[in-house]
Amino acid sequence: MTLEANQVQLANDPNTIDPRVFPPTARRGRECQQLKLGGIRATELTQQFGSPLYVVDEDAARARAREIREALQSEARRVGTEATVYYASKAFLCVEVARWMAEEGLAIDVASGGELAVALKAGVDPARIGFHGNNKSVEEIARAVKAGVGTIVIDSEIETERVAEAAAAAGRVQRVRLRVNSGVHASTHAFLATSHEDQKFGQPLSEAPRLVRAILNHSSLDFVGLHCHIGSQIFATEGFRESARRLLSVYGELAEIAGRPIPELNLGGGFGIAYTSDEADNAPEVAVIARELADIVAQSAQDLGIALPKLAFEPGRAVIGQAGVTLYTVGTTKPVQLAGSDAEQDPAERDFAERLYVSVDGGMSDNARPALYGADYQVRIANRVSDAAPALVRVVGKHCESGDVVVQRDVLPGDVQPGDTLAVATTGAYCWSLASNYNYVPAHRLLRCATAKPA
Ligand code: LLP
Protein backbone atom coordinates (compact mmCIF):
# COMPACT_ATOMS: atom_id res chain seq x y z
CA MET A 1 0.00 0.00 0.00
CA THR A 2 1.45 3.36 -0.95
CA LEU A 3 1.99 6.24 1.40
CA GLU A 4 -0.43 8.46 -0.52
CA ALA A 5 -3.21 5.98 0.14
CA ASN A 6 -2.29 5.61 3.74
CA GLN A 7 -4.07 8.46 5.49
CA VAL A 8 -3.60 6.87 8.83
CA GLN A 9 -4.60 7.55 12.33
CA LEU A 10 -1.35 7.04 14.14
CA ALA A 11 -1.46 4.57 17.00
CA ASN A 12 -2.34 5.88 20.43
CA ASP A 13 0.13 3.76 22.32
CA PRO A 14 3.48 3.63 20.58
CA ASN A 15 4.61 0.76 22.81
CA THR A 16 2.01 -1.72 21.56
CA ILE A 17 3.18 -4.81 19.72
CA ASP A 18 0.40 -5.53 17.25
CA PRO A 19 0.22 -9.29 16.57
CA ARG A 20 -1.34 -8.53 13.19
CA VAL A 21 1.92 -7.07 11.86
CA PHE A 22 4.57 -8.51 14.16
CA PRO A 23 4.93 -12.30 14.27
CA PRO A 24 2.05 -13.66 16.35
CA THR A 25 4.53 -14.91 18.95
CA ALA A 26 6.14 -11.46 19.42
CA ARG A 27 5.37 -9.91 22.76
CA ARG A 28 6.84 -7.81 25.53
CA GLY A 29 8.29 -9.73 28.43
CA ARG A 30 6.11 -9.42 31.53
CA GLU A 31 8.86 -8.13 33.78
CA CYS A 32 11.43 -6.56 31.47
CA GLN A 33 8.88 -5.10 29.00
CA GLN A 34 11.38 -5.85 26.26
CA LEU A 35 10.23 -7.19 22.92
CA LYS A 36 10.70 -10.93 22.69
CA LEU A 37 10.80 -12.82 19.42
CA GLY A 38 10.32 -16.55 19.64
CA GLY A 39 10.69 -16.16 23.41
CA ILE A 40 14.13 -14.50 23.10
CA ARG A 41 14.73 -10.87 24.00
CA ALA A 42 15.48 -8.76 20.92
CA THR A 43 18.41 -7.15 22.74
CA GLU A 44 19.88 -10.57 23.48
CA LEU A 45 19.79 -11.25 19.75
CA THR A 46 21.48 -7.98 18.79
CA GLN A 47 24.07 -8.39 21.55
CA GLN A 48 24.93 -11.83 20.25
CA PHE A 49 24.70 -11.20 16.51
CA GLY A 50 24.96 -7.42 16.05
CA SER A 51 22.63 -5.18 14.09
CA PRO A 52 21.06 -4.58 11.69
CA LEU A 53 19.67 -8.05 12.09
CA TYR A 54 16.98 -9.83 10.12
CA VAL A 55 15.10 -12.17 12.41
CA VAL A 56 12.76 -14.82 11.05
CA ASP A 57 10.36 -16.52 13.40
CA GLU A 58 10.38 -20.14 12.30
CA ASP A 59 7.17 -21.05 14.07
CA ALA A 60 5.34 -18.11 12.52
CA ALA A 61 6.63 -18.90 9.02
CA ARG A 62 5.75 -22.57 9.28
CA ALA A 63 2.31 -21.89 10.75
CA ARG A 64 1.45 -19.42 8.03
CA ALA A 65 2.74 -21.74 5.29
CA ARG A 66 0.54 -24.51 6.67
CA GLU A 67 -2.47 -22.25 7.04
CA ILE A 68 -2.22 -21.00 3.45
CA ARG A 69 -1.59 -24.46 2.01
CA GLU A 70 -4.48 -25.97 3.94
CA ALA A 71 -6.87 -23.14 2.97
CA LEU A 72 -6.10 -23.42 -0.75
CA GLN A 73 -6.10 -27.22 -0.76
CA SER A 74 -9.27 -27.69 1.25
CA GLU A 75 -11.18 -25.22 -0.92
CA ALA A 76 -9.92 -26.97 -4.05
CA ARG A 77 -11.08 -30.31 -2.61
CA ARG A 78 -14.45 -28.85 -1.75
CA VAL A 79 -15.13 -28.10 -5.43
CA GLY A 80 -13.79 -31.46 -6.58
CA THR A 81 -10.20 -30.78 -7.57
CA GLU A 82 -6.81 -30.43 -5.88
CA ALA A 83 -4.20 -27.70 -5.46
CA THR A 84 -0.43 -27.50 -5.28
CA VAL A 85 0.86 -24.55 -3.30
CA TYR A 86 4.29 -23.31 -4.30
CA TYR A 87 6.25 -21.01 -2.03
CA ALA A 88 7.44 -18.09 -4.21
CA SER A 89 11.00 -18.17 -2.97
CA LYS A 90 11.90 -14.77 -4.42
CA ALA A 91 10.17 -13.30 -1.36
CA PHE A 92 12.85 -14.74 0.94
CA LEU A 93 15.10 -17.68 0.36
CA CYS A 94 17.83 -19.41 2.25
CA VAL A 95 18.44 -23.12 2.72
CA GLU A 96 16.63 -23.20 6.06
CA VAL A 97 13.51 -21.47 4.77
CA ALA A 98 13.34 -23.73 1.70
CA ARG A 99 13.54 -26.73 4.02
CA TRP A 100 10.77 -25.43 6.29
CA MET A 101 8.51 -24.84 3.30
CA ALA A 102 9.12 -28.31 1.90
CA GLU A 103 8.48 -29.83 5.32
CA GLU A 104 5.19 -27.92 5.54
CA GLY A 105 4.07 -29.49 2.28
CA LEU A 106 4.69 -26.58 -0.07
CA ALA A 107 6.34 -26.92 -3.46
CA ILE A 108 8.93 -24.25 -4.32
CA ASP A 109 8.85 -21.68 -7.12
CA VAL A 110 12.29 -20.43 -8.21
CA ALA A 111 13.08 -17.66 -10.66
CA SER A 112 16.80 -18.12 -11.34
CA GLY A 113 19.57 -20.67 -11.33
CA GLY A 114 20.67 -19.23 -8.00
CA GLU A 115 17.30 -19.82 -6.34
CA LEU A 116 17.21 -23.28 -7.90
CA ALA A 117 20.61 -24.08 -6.40
CA VAL A 118 19.45 -23.03 -2.92
CA ALA A 119 16.26 -25.10 -3.17
CA LEU A 120 18.22 -28.16 -4.32
CA LYS A 121 20.79 -27.63 -1.59
CA ALA A 122 17.92 -27.65 0.93
CA GLY A 123 17.00 -31.10 -0.32
CA VAL A 124 13.73 -30.02 -1.95
CA ASP A 125 12.42 -32.77 -4.24
CA PRO A 126 13.18 -31.40 -7.75
CA ALA A 127 9.81 -32.68 -8.95
CA ARG A 128 8.26 -30.14 -6.53
CA ILE A 129 10.13 -27.17 -7.99
CA GLY A 130 8.64 -24.80 -10.58
CA PHE A 131 11.06 -22.68 -12.59
CA HIS A 132 10.04 -19.18 -13.73
CA GLY A 133 11.56 -16.15 -15.34
CA ASN A 134 11.40 -14.13 -18.54
CA ASN A 135 15.06 -14.67 -19.43
CA LYS A 136 16.29 -18.01 -18.21
CA SER A 137 19.67 -18.71 -19.74
CA VAL A 138 20.29 -21.80 -21.85
CA GLU A 139 22.57 -23.05 -19.06
CA GLU A 140 19.95 -22.45 -16.38
CA ILE A 141 17.34 -24.32 -18.41
CA ALA A 142 19.73 -27.23 -19.03
CA ARG A 143 20.56 -27.41 -15.33
CA ALA A 144 16.89 -27.33 -14.35
CA VAL A 145 15.94 -30.04 -16.83
CA LYS A 146 18.85 -32.22 -15.74
CA ALA A 147 17.95 -31.76 -12.10
CA GLY A 148 14.46 -33.05 -12.86
CA VAL A 149 12.58 -29.85 -12.10
CA GLY A 150 8.83 -30.52 -12.02
CA THR A 151 7.66 -27.72 -14.29
CA ILE A 152 9.23 -24.95 -16.30
CA VAL A 153 7.09 -21.92 -17.03
CA ILE A 154 7.66 -20.88 -20.63
CA ASP A 155 7.60 -17.11 -20.97
CA SER A 156 8.34 -16.58 -24.68
CA GLU A 157 8.42 -18.39 -28.01
CA ILE A 158 12.21 -18.49 -27.91
CA GLU A 159 12.01 -20.36 -24.63
CA THR A 160 9.77 -23.05 -26.09
CA GLU A 161 12.61 -23.98 -28.40
CA ARG A 162 15.24 -23.74 -25.67
CA VAL A 163 13.38 -25.91 -23.20
CA ALA A 164 12.48 -28.43 -25.90
CA GLU A 165 16.12 -28.71 -26.95
CA ALA A 166 17.38 -29.06 -23.39
CA ALA A 167 14.80 -31.76 -22.64
CA ALA A 168 15.58 -33.64 -25.85
CA ALA A 169 19.32 -33.47 -25.10
CA ALA A 170 18.71 -34.84 -21.60
CA GLY A 171 16.40 -37.54 -22.93
CA ARG A 172 13.51 -36.24 -20.84
CA VAL A 173 9.96 -35.12 -21.37
CA GLN A 174 9.72 -31.81 -19.53
CA ARG A 175 6.43 -30.66 -18.04
CA VAL A 176 5.83 -27.02 -19.00
CA ARG A 177 3.30 -24.28 -18.41
CA LEU A 178 2.78 -21.23 -20.60
CA ARG A 179 2.81 -17.85 -18.89
CA VAL A 180 0.06 -15.60 -20.20
CA ASN A 181 -1.28 -12.18 -19.36
CA SER A 182 -4.94 -12.14 -18.54
CA GLY A 183 -5.09 -8.38 -19.08
CA VAL A 184 -6.38 -7.92 -15.55
CA HIS A 185 -4.97 -4.79 -13.99
CA ALA A 186 -4.66 -5.59 -10.33
CA SER A 187 -4.92 -2.68 -7.94
CA THR A 188 -1.39 -2.35 -6.65
CA HIS A 189 1.74 -0.25 -7.20
CA ALA A 190 2.54 -0.07 -10.94
CA PHE A 191 5.94 -1.68 -10.44
CA LEU A 192 4.32 -4.65 -8.71
CA ALA A 193 1.64 -5.30 -11.33
CA THR A 194 2.62 -7.95 -13.85
CA SER A 195 -0.42 -8.82 -15.91
CA HIS A 196 -0.80 -5.69 -18.06
CA GLU A 197 -0.09 -6.28 -21.73
CA ASP A 198 2.72 -3.71 -22.03
CA GLN A 199 5.34 -5.29 -19.81
CA LYS A 200 8.00 -7.95 -19.99
CA PHE A 201 6.29 -11.03 -18.56
CA GLY A 202 4.36 -13.66 -20.47
CA GLN A 203 2.35 -13.62 -23.65
CA PRO A 204 -1.08 -12.16 -24.41
CA LEU A 205 -3.86 -14.63 -23.68
CA SER A 206 -5.07 -14.31 -27.29
CA GLU A 207 -1.75 -15.82 -28.43
CA ALA A 208 -2.14 -18.89 -26.25
CA PRO A 209 -3.63 -21.22 -28.91
CA ARG A 210 -0.77 -20.55 -31.35
CA LEU A 211 1.91 -20.88 -28.68
CA VAL A 212 0.42 -24.03 -27.21
CA ARG A 213 0.36 -25.57 -30.71
CA ALA A 214 4.09 -24.81 -30.96
CA ILE A 215 4.71 -26.46 -27.57
CA LEU A 216 2.69 -29.52 -28.58
CA ASN A 217 4.86 -29.92 -31.68
CA HIS A 218 7.75 -30.96 -29.43
CA SER A 219 7.69 -34.52 -28.18
CA SER A 220 10.14 -33.50 -25.44
CA LEU A 221 7.55 -31.13 -23.89
CA ASP A 222 4.43 -31.99 -21.91
CA PHE A 223 2.08 -29.01 -21.82
CA VAL A 224 0.19 -29.04 -18.51
CA GLY A 225 -1.56 -25.67 -18.49
CA LEU A 226 -1.51 -21.91 -18.37
CA HIS A 227 0.13 -19.77 -15.75
CA CYS A 228 -0.73 -16.23 -14.80
CA HIS A 229 0.39 -13.87 -12.02
CA ILE A 230 -1.53 -10.61 -11.94
CA GLY A 231 0.68 -8.73 -9.50
CA SER A 232 1.74 -8.49 -5.91
CA GLN A 233 0.43 -7.03 -2.64
CA ILE A 234 -3.14 -7.19 -3.93
CA PHE A 235 -5.95 -6.44 -1.49
CA ALA A 236 -9.06 -6.73 -3.68
CA THR A 237 -10.01 -10.28 -4.66
CA GLU A 238 -11.92 -9.35 -7.85
CA GLY A 239 -8.73 -9.29 -9.93
CA PHE A 240 -7.88 -12.89 -9.02
CA ARG A 241 -11.37 -14.08 -9.87
CA GLU A 242 -11.56 -12.23 -13.18
CA SER A 243 -8.14 -13.48 -14.20
CA ALA A 244 -9.07 -17.10 -13.41
CA ARG A 245 -12.27 -16.75 -15.42
CA ARG A 246 -10.45 -15.33 -18.43
CA LEU A 247 -7.79 -18.03 -18.41
CA LEU A 248 -10.37 -20.80 -18.25
CA SER A 249 -12.28 -19.28 -21.15
CA VAL A 250 -9.56 -20.51 -23.54
CA TYR A 251 -9.21 -23.96 -21.96
CA GLY A 252 -11.88 -25.46 -24.25
CA GLU A 253 -10.02 -24.34 -27.36
CA LEU A 254 -6.68 -25.49 -25.96
CA ALA A 255 -8.19 -28.90 -25.14
CA GLU A 256 -9.36 -29.22 -28.73
CA ILE A 257 -5.90 -28.36 -30.02
CA ALA A 258 -4.27 -30.82 -27.62
CA GLY A 259 -6.90 -33.51 -28.18
CA ARG A 260 -7.17 -33.93 -24.40
CA PRO A 261 -8.26 -31.85 -21.41
CA ILE A 262 -5.73 -29.34 -20.08
CA PRO A 263 -4.97 -30.74 -16.64
CA GLU A 264 -3.72 -27.75 -14.63
CA LEU A 265 -4.17 -24.03 -14.06
CA ASN A 266 -1.61 -21.96 -12.14
CA LEU A 267 -3.01 -18.70 -10.79
CA GLY A 268 0.23 -17.31 -9.33
CA GLY A 269 0.56 -15.46 -6.04
CA GLY A 270 0.18 -11.84 -5.01
CA PHE A 271 -2.01 -12.06 -1.89
CA GLY A 272 -1.59 -8.80 0.02
CA ILE A 273 -0.66 -8.44 3.68
CA ALA A 274 -0.89 -5.67 6.27
CA TYR A 275 2.33 -3.77 6.90
CA THR A 276 0.82 -1.44 9.48
CA SER A 277 -1.98 -1.75 12.04
CA ASP A 278 -4.10 0.60 9.93
CA GLU A 279 -4.05 -1.83 7.05
CA ALA A 280 -4.78 -4.88 9.16
CA ASP A 281 -8.57 -4.73 8.85
CA ASN A 282 -8.44 -4.50 5.06
CA ALA A 283 -5.87 -7.18 4.28
CA PRO A 284 -7.49 -10.07 2.44
CA GLU A 285 -7.89 -13.34 4.30
CA VAL A 286 -6.36 -16.22 2.42
CA ALA A 287 -9.37 -18.38 3.36
CA VAL A 288 -11.60 -15.92 1.52
CA ILE A 289 -9.38 -15.75 -1.56
CA ALA A 290 -9.19 -19.55 -1.57
CA ARG A 291 -12.95 -19.93 -1.36
CA GLU A 292 -13.69 -17.33 -4.03
CA LEU A 293 -11.11 -18.74 -6.44
CA ALA A 294 -12.27 -22.32 -5.97
CA ASP A 295 -15.86 -21.19 -6.61
CA ILE A 296 -15.08 -19.20 -9.73
CA VAL A 297 -12.94 -21.97 -11.22
CA ALA A 298 -15.58 -24.63 -10.55
CA GLN A 299 -18.40 -22.42 -11.85
CA SER A 300 -16.48 -21.36 -14.97
CA ALA A 301 -15.51 -24.94 -15.80
CA GLN A 302 -19.12 -25.99 -15.46
CA ASP A 303 -20.40 -23.08 -17.58
CA LEU A 304 -17.81 -23.78 -20.25
CA GLY A 305 -18.38 -27.53 -20.17
CA ILE A 306 -14.70 -28.28 -19.61
CA ALA A 307 -12.90 -30.60 -17.23
CA LEU A 308 -12.07 -28.98 -13.90
CA PRO A 309 -8.28 -28.51 -13.87
CA LYS A 310 -6.03 -29.04 -10.87
CA LEU A 311 -4.96 -25.71 -9.41
CA ALA A 312 -1.61 -24.26 -8.44
CA PHE A 313 -0.77 -21.11 -6.48
CA GLU A 314 2.47 -19.28 -5.69
CA PRO A 315 2.22 -17.04 -2.64
CA GLY A 316 5.47 -15.54 -1.34
CA ARG A 317 4.83 -12.41 0.71
CA ALA A 318 1.73 -13.81 2.39
CA VAL A 319 3.76 -16.78 3.63
CA ILE A 320 6.89 -15.12 4.96
CA GLY A 321 6.21 -11.37 5.30
CA GLN A 322 4.90 -11.29 8.84
CA ALA A 323 7.44 -13.81 10.15
CA GLY A 324 10.28 -11.32 9.64
CA VAL A 325 11.39 -8.51 11.93
CA THR A 326 14.44 -6.30 11.39
CA LEU A 327 16.31 -5.06 14.44
CA TYR A 328 18.34 -1.86 14.26
CA THR A 329 20.30 0.25 16.71
CA VAL A 330 19.59 3.97 16.87
CA GLY A 331 22.66 6.12 16.18
CA THR A 332 21.36 9.70 16.14
CA THR A 333 18.09 11.59 16.45
CA LYS A 334 17.27 15.00 15.03
CA PRO A 335 14.07 17.08 15.27
CA VAL A 336 12.86 18.98 12.21
CA GLN A 337 10.15 21.64 12.52
CA LEU A 338 7.15 20.89 10.35
CA ALA A 339 5.54 24.33 10.32
CA GLY A 340 6.45 26.02 7.05
CA SER A 341 8.11 22.92 5.68
CA ASP A 342 7.83 22.31 1.93
CA ALA A 343 5.68 19.26 2.25
CA GLU A 344 1.99 19.88 2.57
CA GLN A 345 1.16 18.56 5.96
CA ASP A 346 -0.67 15.31 6.04
CA PRO A 347 -3.86 15.24 8.17
CA ALA A 348 -2.36 12.39 10.19
CA GLU A 349 0.56 14.62 11.14
CA ARG A 350 -1.45 17.71 12.06
CA ASP A 351 -1.07 17.20 15.79
CA PHE A 352 2.71 17.33 15.59
CA ALA A 353 4.88 20.44 15.40
CA GLU A 354 8.01 18.51 14.54
CA ARG A 355 9.23 15.30 13.05
CA LEU A 356 11.98 13.40 14.76
CA TYR A 357 14.45 11.83 12.34
CA VAL A 358 15.75 8.65 13.91
CA SER A 359 18.84 7.28 12.18
CA VAL A 360 19.61 3.58 12.39
CA ASP A 361 22.59 1.45 11.46
CA GLY A 362 21.02 -0.04 8.29
CA GLY A 363 18.65 1.45 5.76
CA MET A 364 17.87 1.07 2.10
CA SER A 365 20.54 -1.62 1.70
CA ASP A 366 18.54 -3.97 3.95
CA ASN A 367 15.09 -2.65 3.05
CA ALA A 368 14.73 -1.11 -0.40
CA ARG A 369 10.93 -1.23 -0.39
CA PRO A 370 10.18 2.27 0.94
CA ALA A 371 12.50 3.76 -1.71
CA LEU A 372 11.25 1.48 -4.49
CA TYR A 373 7.52 1.39 -3.86
CA GLY A 374 6.77 4.00 -1.18
CA ALA A 375 6.12 1.05 1.13
CA ASP A 376 5.16 1.78 4.72
CA TYR A 377 6.23 -0.06 7.87
CA GLN A 378 5.59 -0.06 11.60
CA VAL A 379 8.34 0.45 14.16
CA ARG A 380 8.60 -0.04 17.92
CA ILE A 381 11.30 0.45 20.52
CA ALA A 382 12.32 -3.11 21.40
CA ASN A 383 14.49 -2.64 24.49
CA ARG A 384 12.01 -0.83 26.73
CA VAL A 385 8.62 0.80 26.99
CA SER A 386 8.23 4.46 27.79
CA ASP A 387 5.40 6.79 28.75
CA ALA A 388 7.11 9.79 27.17
CA ALA A 389 4.74 11.77 24.94
CA PRO A 390 4.49 10.25 21.43
CA ALA A 391 6.70 11.81 18.78
CA LEU A 392 6.14 11.73 15.05
CA VAL A 393 9.15 9.88 13.69
CA ARG A 394 10.77 9.00 10.40
CA VAL A 395 13.24 6.16 10.69
CA VAL A 396 16.06 6.67 8.24
CA GLY A 397 19.19 4.72 7.38
CA LYS A 398 22.84 5.69 7.10
CA HIS A 399 23.15 5.77 3.31
CA CYS A 400 24.14 8.79 1.25
CA GLU A 401 20.69 9.42 -0.12
CA SER A 402 17.73 11.34 1.22
CA GLY A 403 15.35 8.61 0.01
CA ASP A 404 17.04 6.25 2.45
CA VAL A 405 13.97 5.75 4.57
CA VAL A 406 13.02 2.66 6.55
CA VAL A 407 9.79 3.88 8.12
CA GLN A 408 8.28 6.91 6.49
CA ARG A 409 5.97 7.75 9.34
CA ASP A 410 5.07 6.32 12.71
CA VAL A 411 4.97 7.42 16.32
CA LEU A 412 7.44 6.38 19.00
CA PRO A 413 7.85 7.51 22.58
CA GLY A 414 9.48 10.94 22.32
CA ASP A 415 12.49 9.90 24.39
CA VAL A 416 13.72 7.49 21.71
CA GLN A 417 17.48 7.86 21.86
CA PRO A 418 20.86 6.65 20.63
CA GLY A 419 21.46 3.07 21.71
CA ASP A 420 17.79 2.06 21.59
CA THR A 421 16.97 -1.08 19.65
CA LEU A 422 14.24 -0.60 17.07
CA ALA A 423 12.12 -3.41 15.67
CA VAL A 424 10.55 -2.93 12.25
CA ALA A 425 7.69 -5.36 11.61
CA THR A 426 6.72 -7.34 8.52
CA THR A 427 10.15 -7.36 6.92
CA GLY A 428 10.16 -11.04 6.02
CA ALA A 429 9.33 -10.60 2.34
CA TYR A 430 11.41 -8.80 -0.27
CA CYS A 431 13.87 -7.25 2.19
CA TRP A 432 16.66 -9.81 2.50
CA SER A 433 16.05 -10.80 -1.12
CA LEU A 434 16.25 -7.19 -2.36
CA ALA A 435 19.22 -6.23 -0.17
CA SER A 436 22.11 -4.38 -1.81
CA ASN A 437 25.73 -3.46 -1.26
CA TYR A 438 25.08 0.27 -1.21
CA ASN A 439 27.82 2.25 0.57
CA TYR A 440 29.25 -1.07 1.72
CA VAL A 441 27.01 -0.69 4.74
CA PRO A 442 25.67 -4.18 4.78
CA ALA A 443 26.76 -6.61 7.26
CA HIS A 444 23.25 -8.02 7.00
CA ARG A 445 22.83 -10.78 9.42
CA LEU A 446 20.16 -13.34 9.18
CA LEU A 447 18.80 -15.23 12.08
CA ARG A 448 16.00 -17.56 12.83
CA CYS A 449 14.83 -17.09 16.31
CA ALA A 450 13.27 -20.46 17.02
CA THR A 451 16.68 -21.70 18.11
CA ALA A 452 18.68 -18.46 17.91
CA LYS A 453 21.17 -20.00 15.53
CA PRO A 454 22.46 -18.09 12.50
CA ALA A 455 20.68 -19.42 9.40
N1 LLP B 1 4.63 -15.90 -8.86
C2 LLP B 1 5.21 -15.10 -9.75
C3 LLP B 1 5.30 -15.51 -11.13
C4 LLP B 1 5.73 -13.86 -9.34
O5 LLP B 1 6.31 -13.08 -10.23
C6 LLP B 1 5.64 -13.48 -7.99
C7 LLP B 1 6.19 -12.21 -7.53
C8 LLP B 1 5.03 -14.36 -7.09
C9 LLP B 1 4.52 -15.56 -7.55
C10 LLP B 1 4.90 -14.06 -5.61
O11 LLP B 1 4.17 -12.92 -5.35
P12 LLP B 1 3.77 -12.57 -3.83
O13 LLP B 1 2.79 -13.62 -3.36
O14 LLP B 1 5.00 -12.58 -3.03
O15 LLP B 1 3.14 -11.23 -3.91
N16 LLP B 1 9.67 -6.80 -4.83
C17 LLP B 1 8.24 -6.53 -4.77
C18 LLP B 1 7.42 -7.72 -5.14
C19 LLP B 1 7.77 -8.29 -6.49
C20 LLP B 1 6.97 -9.52 -6.79
C21 LLP B 1 7.50 -10.23 -7.98
N22 LLP B 1 6.83 -11.41 -8.31
C23 LLP B 1 7.91 -6.04 -3.36
O24 LLP B 1 8.80 -5.90 -2.56
O25 LLP B 1 6.77 -5.76 -3.04
Q: Is residue 403 part of a domain?
A: yes
Ligand 1 atom nearest 132 alpha carbon: 3
Residues 287 and 340 in one domain: no
Q: Is residue 67 part of a domain?
A: no
2 CA distance to ligand 1 middle (Å): 16
Residue 420 CB–ligand 1 contact under 6 Å: no
Q: Is residue 98 part of a domain?
A: no
Residue 268 CB–ligand 1 contact under 6 Å: yes
Q: Of 277, 300, 318, which residue sits at a domain end?
A: 318
Residues 281 and 344 in one domain: no
Residues 62-85 pLDDT 10s: 999 999 999 999 999 999 999 999
Q: Of 265, 294, 318, which residue sits at a domain end?
A: 318
In the predicted model, is pLDDT for residue 354 greater than 80? yes
Residue 133 CB–ligand 1 contact under 6 Å: no
Nearest CA to ligand 1 atom 19: 192
Residues 310 and 335 in one domain: no
pLDDT band at 236 (very low <50, low <70, confident <90, very high): confident
Residues 297 and 169 in one domain: yes
Residue 229 CB–ligand 1 contact under 6 Å: yes
Residues 265 and 164 in one domain: yes
Residue 91 CB–ligand 1 contact under 6 Å: yes
Q: Of 287, 318, 349, which residue sits at a domain end?
A: 318
Residues 155 and 212 in one domain: yes
Number of domains in the chain: 2
Q: What is the CATH number of the domain that holds 25?
A: 2.40.37.10
State how far the Cα of 302 lies from the Cα of 298, in Å rounded to an integer: 6
Q: Is residue 214 part of a domain?
A: yes
State how far the Cα of 407 lies from the Cα of 378, in Å rounded to an integer: 7
In the predicted model, is pLDDT for residue 344 greater than 90? no
Contacts of 151 (CB under 8 A, 6+ apart): 130, 131, 175, 176, 177, 224
Which of 191 and 220 is assigned the larger pLDDT?
220
Nearest CA to ligand 1 atom 24: 430
Q: What is the pLDDT of residue 194?
A: 60
Ligand 1 atom nearest 233 alpha carbon: 15
Q: Is residue 68 part of a domain?
A: no
Q: Is residue 154 part of a domain?
A: yes
3-state class of 141 per DSSP? helix
The amino acid present at 10, given as its one-letter code, is: L
pLDDT band at 358 (very low <50, low <70, confident <90, very high): very high
Residue 316 CB–ligand 1 contact under 6 Å: yes
Residues 225 and 337 in one domain: no
Options 32, 94, 228, 400, the catalytic residue? 400
Average pLDDT over residues 324-329: 96
Residues 425-438 pLDDT 10s: 999 999 999 999 89
Domain that holds residue 430: 3-58+322-452
Residues 194 and 277 in one domain: yes
Does a cis peptide bond (omega within 30 degrees of 0) precede residue 52?
Answer: yes
In the predicted model, is pLDDT for residue 183 greater than 90? no
Burial category of 207 from C-beta neighbours within 10 Å (exposed 0-12, middle 13-18, buried 19 and up): middle
Residues 353 and 278 in one domain: no
Is 400 considered catalytic here? yes
What string of DSSP letters covers 328-346?
EEEEEEEEEE-TT-SSPPP
332 CA distance to ligand 1 middle (Å): 34
Ligand 1 atom nearest 272 alpha carbon: 15
In the predicted model, is pLDDT for residue 33 greater than 80? yes
Q: What is the pLDDT of residue 349?
A: 84
State how far the Cα of 295 lies from the Cα of 291, in Å rounded to an integer: 6
Residues 304 and 329 in one domain: no
Residues 263 and 295 in one domain: yes
Which pTM does this prediction carry? 0.94
Residue 414 CB–ligand 1 contact under 6 Å: no
State how far the Cα of 406 lies from the Cα of 327, in Å rounded to an integer: 12
Distance of CA 19 to the CA centre of its chain: 19
Q: Is residue 27 part of a domain?
A: yes
363 CA distance to ligand 1 middle (Å): 22
SS3 percent helix, strand, coil of the chain, rounded to 5, is 35, 25, 40
Nearest CA to ligand 1 atom 15: 270
Percent of the chain past pLDDT 70, that is, above it, reads: 91
